[in-house]
Every structure is written in C-alpha cells, then in structure tokens.
Structure 1
Amino acid sequence: MSKYIPNYHNVHNKFKLNGFHLNAEDLCRVAYSFIKEGEDFEKPVGDFILDWFDGKEFIEMKTSGSTGKPKTIRVEKQAMVNSALATGDFFGLEAGDTILNCLPVKYVAGKMMFIRAFILGLEMDFVAPSSHPFELIDKQYDFTALVPLQAMNSVDLLHNFKTIIIGGSAVSAALEKVLKPIKANIYETYGMTETITHIAARKMGKKAFTTLPNVVLSQDKNNCLLIHASAISDEIIHTNDIVELVSENKFIFLGRFDNVINSGGIKLIPEQIEAKMLPFIKKRFFVTGKEDKELGEHLVLVVEGLEEPIDLSKIKTLDKYEKPREVIFVNKFKETATGKIIRKDSLS
C-alpha cells in the first residue's frame, strides 16, 4: 500500500497557529489581517499565506546572494510539501508536536516552518524574528530552527527545546563548543534556496552530514557536491561546495570552490585554514587570495574592526602554505540578509 502524500492545498486538521486551529480559509482571513494591520514582521507572513493558497502550482523566492547576485527562482509547491515530509521523517516530527518559528518568512527557511506546520499538523507559535528570539518565551517546544547568531545569543535557553536545527550559515567551532553541554538534539543543516532549505543534517559532535530521505549524492570533477533529489527537483542540483564523499548519503563539507586560492600551484581551501585560526582570533575574519605576480595569488587574512596586532606564529597547525602574507582590517563586513559574509564585497 503506497504512502499517502498530502497535496499543497491541504492543511492538517491538527495544525495550530499561536494556539488557534485554522483551516485554509481561516488562514487567508488571518493573512489579510496581517497585511492590513499587522506588525512589520507579520506582513510578509500574510503575503506568503495568500501566495500559498492562490491556486498556482509554484511560488517565487529569491536566492540569498552569498556567492553572486540574488535571483528569483520558481519552486513547485508540491516539492516544498515533499521537503516538509522529509524533514518530518528525519527528525521524527509528528502531528501535535509543538514548534517555534522565529525566522523571517521573507526567506525559504521561515516559509518552510509554516509549510511543515500546515502539512504535518504541528502546533506552531510564530514570533518576531530577532537576534534574541526567546526573550519573551516561557514554555518548552519540540522543535525550532535558528541561524547561528540566534543560537549563540540564546545558549542559556536552548534546553527548552527537544530538537534544534541551525542553518543559514556555517556553525563555527566556537558555537559548536558552547552547544556541546546542552541537553537537546542539535543539528547543523545543509541546503540552499534551490534545494528548498536543507537536504542534509549533521548532529553536533559528528563530522559528516547525512541526507534526508530520497536524496542521493555524487561529485563532479572538481569534487563539488551533486544532489539527486527527485522529490524536490527533476534536475541534478549542482553546488560549488567541495566535499569529501563518505557514501551516497553522507559527506564532509570542506569549503566552497568559489573561494579556493591557487598560490604557486598549491590549492588552498579558505574554510579549512579558517578553522585552524578560529581559536586564536577573537574578531570576525576570513582568508582570501590577493593577486601576486610571482605566485598568481598569495594568502591574505581579512579581519573586521579596528587594526590591532595579530601574532600568527602562535598558530602551530598552519603549514607554510597556509600562513597569510599580509593582514587587512576592514571596518565592517558586507553580509547577506541571513548573516553570511560576502567576501568579495567586503574587500571592495
């Protein structure tokens, strides 16, 4: 007997929004109210709900712009439903579970929290997105999704959640260290707008990401990840992420192909070098390549904030090719709306 797959028109009869049972018709009334008289963070929710129930089979979304100009793409609503079902299977979400959505609905991650709630029958509370989202929360939840900044600012309150997923940008070694003692199931997720949020997750303490159901992985000639996810895309999704492929369902993230530095014929992956530097540099930073007549490129350390002495000789784990030849200070890094550093723009 085949498994029942809900349609994007469906709203589960156990779905609740901020404590109220709502069907599709109710949700559209709420949406009009949000648009007309809601707070600033509620207006995009109203727009999204009306778009979801407008009869079209797709929804338009913008990519983040972390590696190029943001672009608008069309995503099939049924593919978003399939993504929600895969998340439910992977994290064991069941009808009646409680979730907190503190992500902006303008972006795919915030939209998907609503869709998971509609489709899986979850009881969702929705609060204003902020860097300190739990300040007014005094209850426990089964599930939430955060960006790294929210997680770092809420460490003392994360024990109120059974399962926490963190995405939008990479979980740093510093954040992972402070999350280690927390008694919750905490995962870093991997995905992008094109994959309809995450297609894999890594439990804190583990190195490898594991795919959600119905996702198979491979690599191209540059060792970049290829994603085969027929439930969300008819085409293979090509990424610029260099990975170590453990199996067709597991991988270790190494860095982005766009960021690779070729210095005298040696290929350097910035993310690997940055991980070694992280315990020694307190400010935000990244490494990149700078044009060099002799080497093609040489390695540069870019630090956010006022200039100060940085002693790189203390970092014994760096090999001779991984030691920056100069340090550049930048007053303020350029970022995407989800907090990812835009490396090239930060240097211009």
Structure 2
Amino acid sequence: MNVRRRLIPTAALAGAVALAATALTACSGAAGAAEGKDGKLDVMASFYPMQFLAEQIGKDHVKVDTLTKPGVEPHDLEITPKQTAQLGEADVVLYLKTLQPAVDKAVAQSGVKNVVDAATLTKLEVHGTSGHGDHEHAAEGDGHDHSHGEAGEDPHVWLDPVKYAEIAKGVGAALEKSDPDHAADYKKNTDDLVAKLGALDTEFKDGLKNTASKTFITTHSAFGYLAERYGLDQEGISGVDPESEPSPARMKELQTLAKQDNVSTVFFETLASDKTAKTLATDTGLKTDVLDPLEGITDKSQGADYFEVMRANLKNLQKALGTK
C-alpha cells in the first residue's frame, strides 16, 4: 500500500475518531477513518479469514490488502518494517490477536488507531480436554509451546460458522462506523453473509448428524471449535503448530486410538507438510485426506473461497467418519 494523501481535514478526522471510540466497543482502537484518494476504505487484514470478511462485507467500498500472502503459513509469518508502516497507513486493520505473534507486535508498533481484534467479537475457548486431546497430548514431550491467548485459548474460531458469523457482525459494525456514508450497504452485506453462514451451519449439522465414528485425526489441531459444534472428537498429531513433531508416545497413542474409535483417515492440510500424517497412516493402515484449516487460499485449495473449502471439508469428514 502506498502512502496516500488524506482528503479529510485533520480536525474532522479527529472528531470522527472520538465519536466512533464511544460507539464501537469491538474495536481496540477508535474508528472513524478517512477514505483514500480512490474513494475506498483501505482495509489491512492479517490473514485470509479476516480478508474474506472485509471483502464480503465491504465489496466495492473497500480496498483490502493482507499481511499473509497466499501459500504462507500464518503461524510462521514474519512482518517486514515496510508492512508495519503500511499498517499505520490503513484506515482499518482487522486481525485476530494471539494467532500471529508477529502481527500482534506490528500492530502495537504501528500506532494505528482503527483496529478490530476478532478475538474480542466472540468467545474464545480452551480445547484439549473433554474428549479433544489435541493440545494436551501434543504438548507432551515435543518441546513446543502450543498455547494461545489467555490460558491456552484456541484462536481458530472461523472454522465454526456460528462464531465466524459473530465476528462478521463485529466487522460489519466497524466498517459502518469507519465509513458512515456507506453504512447501509455494509449492514446489508453483513446480514447476507451471516445468513449464508447460518445455512452452512445447517449443512454441517445435518451432514454430520449420523456417522459411524465421531473421532478424526488431523496434523493441525485447528478444528476444536468445529468438533465441539458438531459433536465430534478431534485428535491432533502436532498441536496447533502444524510443523511441530509429535513424540513417539503420541504416535503410539494415536495408533491405539485409531483402532478403538474406528478411525479410517488421517487428515493433513495444504499449507504444511503431510509427512507426519503419511507416516501415521502407513503405520496404522489408514487413508489420508485433506482437512483445510482455511488459513490461506492457494491453487492447491479444494475451493476458491471460504464457503467452497468449508463444504469440501464437510464432504471429506463425511467420507472419513462414515456418514449413514
């Protein structure tokens, strides 16, 4: 993003910022941004799920850039000084605190005022107990810190359509406050998106209601919210870090679990290595398939956007769990 001239006087901008600060509690900074010289609101998104929301809700009224380019694993993102400067120039920044430590640091250093933290727009939960052994087991002996947020809160909320809809409402409100001239359009687009997410939720509920097994094994423990929403049990090989190596004890434990719970498939993802998944599958005689955490879209993704990839995930889960 290039440095742009502001077309709104400084006093007017300051007044708008002050007004929005009292009206939008979902933002960690005040809203009330100026529009760029092309007449569009400049939005910087931290990674794909935030980018998708901005594009779906903002449509023609926004210009959206992302810090995490296609094919980059978001957890490993490093921010350049240039990107930090670009953050400071954005009208609105959308991110999810704790998911990407480099982004958290860059946002703090940028001094940007109009910040929307998706983690404040829905309730984050801790996954790793009550049947979801991913974080707890994967952390044993592998030497990696898999914790996120407060007390190990799981940041992967966008994989639950219901929680993603809650975030969408907060993002819509932020854009309305930042660009009141187009507030009606943002509201309509938000309502349309929330309705589509509601329909997707129904598809998952109906599609996973009757399955031969409720347990799935995945390399990346990103699906705790999805599992909880639809009555499934996630067993992660490598915790929330898709590149970490599981302990031999964990691999043995998963082999036993696969037999006990009638597991047929080990899932891997497109943005990380499938080596561990294939090793476990070979050792246990299981199949492999893709379960995409939707942290980025590439030409290898099983769909062109959030909805297409989520429906591909549903189809793959139905196949692996034995839909009746």
- TM-score tier by shorter-chain length is 0.3 to 0.5
TM-score under structure 1 normalisation?
Answer: 0.34
TM-score (norm 2): 0.36
